């Protein structure tokens, strides 16, 4: 970090670069200015106190002269040396919730709408009750670990909200609210959770196929949607939001799946399902008027699984079963990963534990049962 004698004239002439610049004052040790890529300039102090690094915002160069910042920095550094508390208002620290909202407004554009909504729930339910009101520059690794331990009764929520907190801290560094290299979320060990994957047996597939047939005349679209889920291993969102323009040459070309663009190769039974649907809308499943599209299929699935005696089977378990069936039938991790749209091979590998005999039997019976070819 370069050191120069800061003056009002020099502060005015400092120009932004592509990355954050920190310039220390050559005269007052622990005092400096940070220049953001946006051009914003903020005075800070950076010192050691009782074996810990202390980094505080002194003020914004747009509203404070260099002489005022120097005087305030001198007082803050003196308070540190004398073991006196530095008032949050005096330091100009920005509270956690303010930075979090800025992250959701700016960085949140990178998240898909459902991810953004889920992350905002984690912010509201798990993060704000603990961190609201705290100056973001003061939040330590010990404090983050204490927060994480406080959520031991809800490990899933803790594991999913920890990355949200990490992004907030990461962006706080990038935007100058925290010192570089000070993300307090690094090294957090997630809670171990019991895997809840449920895999369908050939007999269960048979019962499910029979239940689908009983409803086909009254609920043709819902039955078709479920058959496509079972025959392709697609995610629910990929099927419910499917448009006819994505279907050509016997394949689905999904431009905006969870992991990015991908191609879904369809078996003959899946192509037959699509061939039996009318093209009355640009959507394969025209469900306009539903404020929550997932409810269009979820309610029907709960009814169907009760009829088939599969009350413990979630709709996403059909994707698990598809993956395990393909892997145990001899397909490679890479091939099945491409079928499912997995980015990480480890995600695919966790489905590889079903017995070969069970899965081979399922392969032979699944397609005709679900396509309606066998009664």
pLDDT digits (tens, 9 = 90+) for 202-222: 788 889 889 999 999 999 999
Topology adopted by domain 202-371: hpI Integrase; Chain A (1.10.443)
Assess whether pLDDT exceeds 60 at residue 240.
yes
Beta pairing, strands 21-25 & 3-4: parallel
* pLDDT digit string, tens, across residues 62-112: 888 999 999 989 988 888 887 776 654 444 467 899 889 989 988 888 887
Instruction: Answer whether 98's CB lies under 8 Å from 129's CB.
Output: no
What confidence tier does 195 reach under pLDDT thresholds 50, 70, 90? low
Q: What is the pLDDT of residue 174?
A: 78
DSSP states along 52-90 = EEEEEEEEETTTS-HHHHHHHHHHHHHHHHTTPPPPHHH
Which tens digits make up the pLDDT trace of 291-309? Answer: 566 678 888 989 998 998 9
Q: Which pair of structure tokens corresponds to residue 357? A: 């005999």
* Cα–Cα distance, 160 to 15 (Å, whole number): 39
| Percent of the chain topping pLDDT 70 | 77
Residue 366 predicted with pLDDT over 50: yes
**Intervals of CATH 1.10.150 along the chain:** 96-174
Residue 4, helix vs strand vs coil: strand
Range(s) for CATH 3.30.160.390 in the chain? 3-91
Residue 207 CB coordination number (10 Å)? 17
| Strand bridging mode 247-248 / 251-257 | antiparallel
Helix (H) or strand (E) holding 31: strand 31-35
Distance from C-alpha of 68 to C-alpha of 205, rounded to nearest angstrom: 74
Q: Is the pLDDT of residue 322 over 70?
A: no
Residue with tokens 């025959």: 231
CATH superfamily of 3-91: Integrase, DNA-binding domain (3.30.160.390)
Of 284, 286, 308, which is closest to residue 229 (Cα–Cα)?
284
Classify 96-174 by CATH class: mainly alpha
Q: pTM for the complete prediction?
A: 0.54
Segment 31-47, tens digit of pLDDT: 999 998 888 898 999 88
C-alpha neighbours within 13 Å on the C-beta side of residue 323:
26
Q: How confident is the model at residue 364 (pLDDT cuts 50, 70, 90)?
A: low
How would you class 14 by CB atoms within 10 Å of its CB: exposed for 0-12, middle for 13-18, buried for 19 or more?
A: middle
Indicate the range of 49-53, 146-150, 172-176 predicted with least confidence. Answer: 49-53
- Rounded to an integer, the average pLDDT of 105-124 is 87
> How many CA atoms, within 13 angstroms, populate the side-chain half-sphere of residue 343?
5
pLDDT at 52 over 80: no
DSSP string, 34-50: EE-TTS-EEEEEEEEET
3-class secondary-structure state, position 180: coil
Residue 346 has pLDDT above 60, yes or no: no
- Portions of the chain given CATH number 1.10.443.10: 202-371
Structure-token pair, residue 347: 């995600």
Binning pLDDT at 50, 70 and 90, where does residue 356 land? very low
Percent of the chain exceeding pLDDT 90 equals 30
Per-residue model confidence as pLDDT tens digits over 160-191: 999 999 999 988 887 777 877 778 998 888 88
Using DSSP's 3-state secondary structure scheme, residue 351 falls into coil
CA-derived radius of gyration, the chain: 28
Average pLDDT value for the chain: 80
* Range in 47-56, 117-126, 319-328, 342-351 with the lowest mean pLDDT: 342-351
pLDDT at 293: 65
């Amino acid at each position: 970090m370069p050191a120069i004698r800061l003056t009002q004239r020099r502060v005015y002439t400092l120009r932004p670069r592509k990355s954050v610049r920190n310039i220390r004052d050559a005269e007052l040790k622990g005092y400096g200015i940070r220049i953001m890529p946006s051009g914003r300039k903020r005075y800070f102090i950076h010192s050691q106190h009782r074996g810990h690094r202390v980094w505080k915002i002194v003020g914004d160069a747009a509203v404070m002269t260099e002489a005022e910042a120097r005087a305030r920095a001198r007082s803050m550094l003196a308070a540190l040396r004398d073991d006196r508390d530095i008032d949050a208002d005096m330091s100009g620290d920005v509270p956690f919730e303010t930075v979090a909202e800025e992250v959701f407004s700016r960085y949140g554009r990178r998240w898909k709408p459902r991810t953004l909504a889920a992350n905002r729930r984690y912010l509201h339910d798990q993060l704000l009750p603990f961190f609201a009101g705290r100056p973001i520059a003061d939040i330590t690794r010990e404090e983050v670990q204490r927060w994480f331990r406080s959520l031991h009764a809800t490990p899933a929520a803790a594991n999913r909200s920890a990355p949200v907190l990490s992004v907030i801290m990461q962006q706080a560094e990038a935007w100058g609210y925290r010192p570089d290299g000070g993300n307090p979320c690094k090294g957090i060990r997630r809670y171990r959770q019991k895997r809840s994957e449920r895999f369908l047996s050939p007999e269960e597939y048979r019962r499910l196929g029979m239940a689908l047939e009983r409803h086909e005349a009254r609920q043709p679209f819902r039955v078709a949607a479920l058959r496509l889920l079972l025959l392709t291993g697609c995610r629910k969102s990929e099927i419910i939001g499917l448009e006819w323009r994505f279907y050509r040459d016997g394949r689905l070309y999904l431009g905006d799946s969870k992991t990015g663009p991908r191609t879904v190769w369809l078996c003959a039974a899946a192509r037959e399902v699509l061939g039996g649907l009318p093209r009355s809308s640009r959507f394969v499943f025209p469900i306009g008027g539903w404020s929550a599209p997932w409810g269009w299929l979820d309610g029907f699935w709960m009814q169907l699984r009760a009829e088939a005696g599969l009350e413990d089977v979630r709709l996403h378990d059909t994707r698990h079963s598809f993956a395990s069936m393909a892997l145990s039938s001899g397909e490679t991790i890479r091939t099945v990963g491409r079928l499912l749209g997995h980015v990480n091979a480890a995600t695919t590998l966790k489905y590889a534990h079903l017995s070969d005999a069970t899965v081979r039997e399922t392969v032979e019976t699944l397609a005709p049962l679900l396509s309606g070819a066998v009664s």
